[in-house]
């Protein structure tokens, strides 16, 4: 069955009209997995048996005439930093290679209640610290559009799974762009919702004040559908906020009207922004203007400051959040050493990878007594400045159109420098929404001449997901979905 060319609402219709069963759909997805996983490596753990059991249950419920949620029977995947009871949750770290949590993340619990089918747990940069999924302690993941290139990161496994059809949707987590950047590099749609809209409970914290769970899908409507299934108030996440949009899917249907879209000129004047990225974004701007939007140039000055502030704040929180992985209470414990200090030292040295250690050290430095004021506190102030700048901008704009990354996907084992970019600044455009807690949606803008996906980013004020989906859907409706990756065997 050709499920890969169908959107989730079409698959849901097919299940309900009994064109195919959830088992057939699930088996088809697992066939794609079997054929492509050796190349792509999107998953850390496959949950084949569970998936079939869940699929059979949905088929049974549907045959009883039960009315089920839209996502029921649809195979999806979870980034492996989302806790699943009885299924190991590794965070792509040696430290937690055998860790089976005794609890479910809030998002996994609500998806289970909605009878989704879990295909497996996807690869990521270790503890979600990275841009390419290459810092996973287990294996790399390849970009389905060009298997010599990275899928982006840290939610690279989820992006690759969705782009290749190894899952109909996936959840990622976004701290500084970890949903949007791999979505852009792998040619799919990725939403970073308003901070607090989706509960973080059970999602391994890297940087608590920045981490957000977000849906990754092939189409904009799929994405809205999944966010509808996730955005619930959770009293057990102190930062949780209730949604203000009844249904994100319905929000797309509202009239397009005459939205005001901000065009951050400084973003497009960066030297490292490739023409391959710039051109489709300019075309998108012209498209929006042609359908009734008003484009206004805006002057955002804080992008460079965002970089420094982001790395300091996220590493500071990451340092504190990752200290618990010490080999004492659970997780990997080294056999070496005699003393308690040895136990900490060896367990952490052996269990954690280089990038994670780098971030821990940076955070440790920024929080030390001598450096706190100059680094942590200053960054916190910058963050407040950025929030003010964006709030000010959104007094006159409904959304901002921005790049996601400066370059398309780079080759495995290299850095974006290869393409004229920079390892850490390549995806700096994703940082302002992270720091401000505002929603941002990455959608495919098109393919380069070489066939590499290029993404674009729509950023809005808090709780503007409905608007962002509506703008994105207009673009998608006019341009169609990206062609499926040619390399993927079907």
Residues forming contacts to another protein in the complex (CB under 8 A) are 81-83, 89, 91, 96, 99, 101-103, 105, 200-205, 207-209, 235-239, 316-317, 319-320, 323-326, 328-330, 340, 344, 364, 367-369, 372, 376
Residue in 21, 22, 79, 158 annotated catalytic: 79
> Based on CB atoms, which residue is closest to another protein, 200 or 428?
200
For residues 155 and 377, give the distance between their C-alpha atoms in angstroms, rounded to a whole number: 29
CB of 376 to another protein, least distance (A): 6
Residue 487, token pair as written in the block: 């390399």
CB of 138 to another protein, least distance (A): 17
Nearest to 116 by CA among 28, 11, 207: 11
> How many helices, marked H, and strands, marked E, lie in the chain?
16, 11
CB of 73 to another protein, least distance (A): 27
Nearest to 78 by CA among 230, 195, 187, 186: 230
279 is known as an active-site residue: no
Residue 419, token pair as written in the block: 């393409």
As a whole number of Å, the end-to-end CA separation of the chain is 10
Torsion of CA 338, 339, 341, 342, to 10 degrees: 0
CB of 206 to another protein, least distance (A): 10
For residues 280 and 455, give the distance between their C-alpha atoms in angstroms, rounded to a whole number: 9
CB of 169 to another protein, least distance (A): 21
423 is known as an active-site residue: no
Nearest to 312 by CA among 381, 387, 265, 259: 381
Residue 301, token pair as written in the block: 């000055």
User: Residue 435 in 3-state DSSP?
Assistant: helix
> Based on CB atoms, which residue is closest to another protein, 258 or 323?
323
DSSP assigned state of 48: H
For residues 69 and 114, give the distance between their C-alpha atoms in angstroms, rounded to a whole number: 6
For residues 459 and 408, give the distance between their C-alpha atoms in angstroms, rounded to a whole number: 20
> Based on CB atoms, which residue is closest to another protein, 364 or 447?
364
Q: How many residues does the chain have?
A: 490
> Based on CB atoms, which residue is closest to another protein, 209 or 266?
209
> Based on CB atoms, which residue is closest to another protein, 235 or 255?
235
Residue 408 · residue 448 · CB < 8 Å: yes
Residue in 22, 132, 147, 154 annotated catalytic: 154
- The alpha-carbon radius of gyration of the chain (Å, integer) is 21
Beta-carbon contacts of 13 under 8 Å, excluding residues fewer than 6 positions away, are: none
178 is known as an active-site residue: yes
> Based on CB atoms, which residue is closest to another protein, 333 or 415?
333
For residues 281 and 303, give the distance between their C-alpha atoms in angstroms, rounded to a whole number: 18
Burial of 139 (0-12, 13-18, 19+ CB in 10 A): middle
Q: How many CA atoms lie within 13 A of 218 on its CB side?
A: 24
> Based on CB atoms, which residue is closest to another protein, 77 or 203?
203
Nearest to 234 by CA among 203, 206, 189, 191: 203
CB of 236 to another protein, least distance (A): 5
CB of 208 to another protein, least distance (A): 4
> Based on CB atoms, which residue is closest to another protein, 26 or 436?
436
Beta strands, E only, 6-158: 43-46, 75-79, 117-122
Active site residues per annotation: 79, 154, 178
């Amino acid at each position: 069955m050709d499920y890969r060319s169908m959107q989730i609402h079409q698959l849901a219709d097919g299940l309900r009209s009994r064109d195919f069963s959830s088992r057939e759909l699930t088996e088809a997805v697992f066939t794609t997995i079997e054929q492509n996983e050796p190349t792509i490596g999107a998953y850390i753990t496959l949950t084949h048996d569970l998936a079939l059991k869940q699929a059979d249950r949905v088929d049974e419920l549907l045959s009883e005439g039960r009315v089920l949620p839209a996502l029921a029977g649809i195979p999806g995947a979870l980034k492996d930093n989302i806790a699943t009871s009885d299924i190991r949750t590794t965070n792509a770290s040696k430290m937690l290679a055998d860790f089976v949590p005794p609890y479910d993340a809030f998002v996994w619990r609500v998806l289970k209640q909605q009878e989704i089918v879990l295909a497996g747990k996807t690869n990521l940069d270790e503890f979600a610290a990275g841009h390419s999924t290459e810092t996973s302690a287990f294996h790399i993941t390849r970009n389905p559009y060009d298997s010599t290139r990275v899928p982006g990161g840290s939610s690279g496994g989820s992006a690759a799974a969705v782009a290749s059809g190894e899952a109909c949707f996936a959840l990622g987590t976004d701290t500084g762009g970890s949903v949007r950047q791999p979505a852009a590099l792998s040619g799919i749609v990725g939403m970073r919702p308003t901070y607090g809209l989706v509960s973080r409970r059970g999602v391994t914290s890297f940087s608590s004040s920045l981490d957000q769970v977000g849906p990754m899908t092939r189409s904009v409507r799929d994405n809205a559908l999944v966010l509808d299934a996730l955005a619930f108030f959770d009293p057990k996440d102190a930062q949780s906020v209730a949604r203000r949009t009844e249904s994100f899917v319905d929000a797309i249907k509202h009239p397009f009207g005459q939205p005001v879209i901000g065009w951050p000129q400084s973003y497009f004047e960066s030297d490292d922004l490739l023409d391959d990225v710039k051109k489709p974004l300019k075309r998108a701007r012209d498209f929006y203007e042609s359908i009734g939007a008003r484009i206004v140039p805006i002057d955002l000055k804080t992008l460079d400051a965002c970089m420094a502030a982001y790395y300091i704040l996220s590493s500071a929180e990451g340092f504190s959040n990752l200290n618990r992985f010490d080999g004492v209470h659970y997780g990997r414990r080294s056999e070496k050493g005699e003393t308690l200090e040895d136990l900490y030292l060896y367990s952490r040295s052996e269990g954690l990878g280089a990038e994670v250690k780098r971030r821990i050290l940076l955070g440790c430095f920024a929080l030390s007594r001598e450096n706190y004021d100059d680094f942590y506190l200053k960054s916190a102030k910058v963050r407040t400045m950025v929030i003010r700048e964006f709030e000010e901008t959104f007094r006159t704009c409904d959304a901002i159109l921005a790049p996601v990354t400066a370059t398309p996907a780079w080759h495995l084992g290299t850095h974006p420098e290869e393409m004229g970019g920079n390892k850490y600044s390549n995806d700096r455009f994703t940082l302002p929404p992270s720091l401000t807690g505002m929603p941002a949606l990455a959608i495919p803008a098109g393919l380069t001449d070489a066939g590499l996906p290029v993404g674009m980013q729509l950023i809005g004020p808090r709780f503007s997901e409905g608007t962002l989906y509506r703008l994105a859907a207009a673009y998608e409706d006019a341009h169609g979905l990206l062609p499926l990756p040619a390399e993927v065997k079907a």
